[in-house]
Structure 1
Amino acid sequence: MRRLDGKAAVVTGAGRGIGRAIAELLAAEGAAVVVNDLGAEVDGRGSQASVADEVVAAIRAKGGRAVASYESVADFQAAERINAGILRDRMLFNMTEEEWDAVIAVHLKGTFNCTRHAAVHMRQQRRGRIVSISSTSGVYGNSGQANYGAAKDGIAGLTRVASRDLGRYGITVNAVCPGALTRMSQTVPQDVRRTRAERGLETGFAERGFPLRNFGP
């Protein structure tokens, strides 16, 4: 018997990168998985259903159970029916209000939406597991990511409060802060990369908890 036989999991942003890896691992361990992904570009624009469909097909091909969801986690009502994230990197003095709002809406509000709706059902069954994705950008800060860093650190704060609110009902709430090389991290603008390099931020991995300096394959 596998560890997650008989369990169900919803993974947001599961069409690519970390989200896809999580969805496939949960399915391999026996969970029935809802693969949620709008299929948007890195900046959140557009949509493509095939992104989630491909993951569902890959899981089913290995004997797993999965269905696709194409809803946006930033939509409070849509989240009720259902690792999502976007980037709008820009130096703080050039960042627009729209760029700030878009990232906060997907990352922080999206995490609230999913956590809030899941909590209602988990509280009724007196059991549940909620795992959110924060980021080292929220812990340490990265140049050009005021919106992203604020959202990710906000997720950490939300997680701490949610764990207190829900723990009495048998629900655990945790967040992980991965440092990874994904489609999103590869879109950091060149001016931001230059600024980080000039300030020694691109080579400070050892001091920031990454002694092997290995961020990808």
Structure 2
Amino acid sequence: MSDIRFDGRVAIVTGAGAGLGRSHALELARRGAKVVVNDLGGAVDGTGSSLSAAETVVEEIKAAGGEAIANGANVTKPDEVAAMVDAARDAWGKVDILVNNAGILRDKSFTKMSLEDFRAVMEVHLWGAVVCTKAVWDHMKEAGYGRIVMTSSSSGIYGNFGQSNYGAAKMGVVGLMNVLHLEGRKNNIKVNTLSPTAHTRMTEGLIPEEAAKLMTPESVTAGLIALCAETAPERTILCAGAGGYAATKIYETPGVYLSPEEQTAENVMANMDKITSEHGQEEFEEGARQTFKFIQYAAKHFDLALG
């Protein structure tokens, strides 16, 4: 297989001043992309700001012979993000790749978590991904090319105690991917999701030191690069960390059909084992598939012909 290259491509990586974002930006640049290194420069909880982190990464890229510019846009603010996209287009004429990586943490149990902390995390992870994607979407449609990567987490896909805000946001970007995949495919815009496990400042003190040494940002970035490639997959949730790579898929079981006289909560409960049985489960690409399935069940019961 030939090397994955991004010569002539322009990428924006949000939250790229440290950790995974920094690793993503450096590798995209090493492979030929011109990179907008975006970072608000705040603390892990999102407070504060400084452009110095982004500028440091830009200097690293330039020292290695690449091209990059720093940007301190707050991903939750549409005007700042629009200006960032304009800066990229002024410098290089287009935006081909968007990596929605920016994020913050404000962990607490749901009982102790304030609504302000819930909203703040949702805004950066989910709303920030919406704002940044919206800012590049029409440009990519007009160009007939785009690669967009959301960043999810096992905390959203599977759950993690004390991260209701983070988990809700991280599952939200999966739903965003599912819809944008359908809307963007005719214009060659491929939308995927990365679900990383890495040792960064967000996981400091949570992972044993010996294990943390295996969880490098670079191992996650290898997966990110594949999702940005010309031959990238579509609508894929790629899990990556410590050298392991897997895909998360959402399946729907065949379920059961209950006739009108059987449609009671008691009968639903009585059939729960059949409803949750994995035998014959399918992966649906759009929500209408579920509706059609249920209508077919009902039509068969009433002996109706569907056109």
TM-score (norm 1): 0.85
1:46-125 equivalences under 5 Å are 46-82=48-84, 83-125=101-143
Segments of 4+ moved more than 2 angstroms? 209-214
Matched residue pairs, number? 194
- The aligned counterpart of 1:199 is none
Contact 1:34 1:66 in 2 (8 A): yes
Higher relative contact order (CA 8 A, sep 6+): 1
Larger-gyration structure (1/2): 2
Question: How far has the Cα of 1:212 moved from its partner?
Answer: 7.7
Question: How far has the Cα of 1:160 moved from its partner?
Answer: 0.7
1:158-177 equivalences under 5 Å are 158-177=176-195
- The aligned counterpart of 2:37 is 35
| Structure 1 residues 77 and 151: CA distance shift in structure 2, 3 A | same
Contact 1:104 1:148 in 2 (8 A): yes
Gaps of 5+ in 2: 85-100, 207-238, 245-307
Identity %: 46
| Structure 1 residues 29 and 98: CA distance shift in structure 2, 3 A | same
Contact 2:42 2:48 in 1 (8 A): yes
1:128-167 equivalences under 5 Å are 128-167=146-185
Contact 1:2 1:30 in 2 (8 A): no
Gaps of 5+ in 1: 189-208
Root-mean-square deviation (CA, aligned residues, Å) is 2.1
1:134 alignment partner AA: S
- Taking the aligned partners of 2:49 and 2:36, their CA distance within structure 1 comes to 18
Question: How far has the Cα of 1:81 moved from its partner?
Answer: 2.2
| Structure 1 residues 115 and 97: CA distance shift in structure 2, 3 A | same
Contact 1:86 1:106 in 2 (8 A): yes
Contact 1:38 1:47 in 2 (8 A): yes
SS of the residue 2:155 aligns to: helix
